[in-house]
Structure 1
């Protein structure tokens, strides 16, 4: 949900205020939330609003609360998604780090790719070339950070 201008909010409020009494009921708020794909239970709305009807100023406050709540939820989902991605990448790294020393060598890459059926004729120089592209410290190995960059297709050389 992107922020709306006060002009847009005034128009929405006026449309919701069907009887023109300057108030929007909880039922009207629930209808609006349903229309913008943010359905809520009546008791949640009552708790959030704290009254039976909202005037325009209270409606603006309600809207700001929704925006903040939505931003917090989006940030939580993004953080959770990043955590899952990190866990998945660590698990994938372990598939290639055969000796568990925290580094992927050319030999480990060659064996892993062959086992996964991704490369039948993997030559040492081909593995070295693959590692060299993401080996930032030029030690001939991929550490987790370098592996992560490779998997996320981050190339600092471009």
Structure 2
């Protein structure tokens, strides 16, 4: 969303001020929000704007507050997306450690070999890689694809 200049904001304010009293009421603001698909009750709008109506200066302040909140939300969303992308790349690298033949699937044999190489497999412990895979094998094909591996690494149990 690109910020509007004061000329645009004055035009918007004047159009919203349907009765020409120099104020934008909660009802008039509600009309605008309804038109853009954001529905709010009058009492909610009054709480949001701090009264029953806004003069032009208060309208500008209200707009600036919305822009700042939108900017903070956009920045937080961008940071979350970046973290998700980093996590996705890290999981892809980890998947390749276990997918020894590079076919896009992890077999129980590949899992056992990779765990052994990492020093995490003890043949005497009684663990069975087949059962480990079965827990996260959503389509029951006996293999883990990347999405199933990701679920396993993010500790999501399959039903």
Normalised TM-score (structure 2): 0.62
Q: Please report how far the alpha carbon of residue 124 of structure 1 lies from its aligned counterpart in structure 2 after TM superposition.
A: 8.6
Which of the residues 141, 144, 150 maps onto 1:142?
A: 144
Deviation at 1:62, TM superposition (A): 1.1
Alignment of 1:107-146 (within 5 A): 107-121=109-123, 126-146=128-148
Partner of 1:86 in structure 2?
88
Asked whether the equivalents of residues 106 and 143 of structure 2 are also in contact (C-alpha less than 8 Å), the reply is yes
Q: What is the root-mean-square deviation of aligned Cα atoms in Å?
A: 2.3
Contact 1:104–1:141 (8 Å) recurs in 2: yes
Give the C-alpha shift of residue 84 in structure 1.
1.0
Partner of 2:48: 5
Between the aligned partners of 1:102 and 1:125, the Cα distance in structure 2 is 24
| Number of aligned residue pairs | 109
Structure 1 gap segments, 5+ residues each: 9-53
The 3 A distance-change label for structure 1 pair 84 and 130 is same
Q: How far apart are the structure 1 equivalents of 2:124 and 2:101?
A: 19
The equivalent of 1:74 in structure 2 is: 76
1:106/1:124 contact within 8 Å kept: no
Taking the TM superposition and a 5 Å limit, the aligned residue runs for 1:43-62 are 55-62=57-64
The Cα of 1:7 is off from its aligned counterpart by: 3.4
- Cα deviation per residue 1:123-148 (whole Å; 9 max; x = unaligned)? 79610000000111111111111101
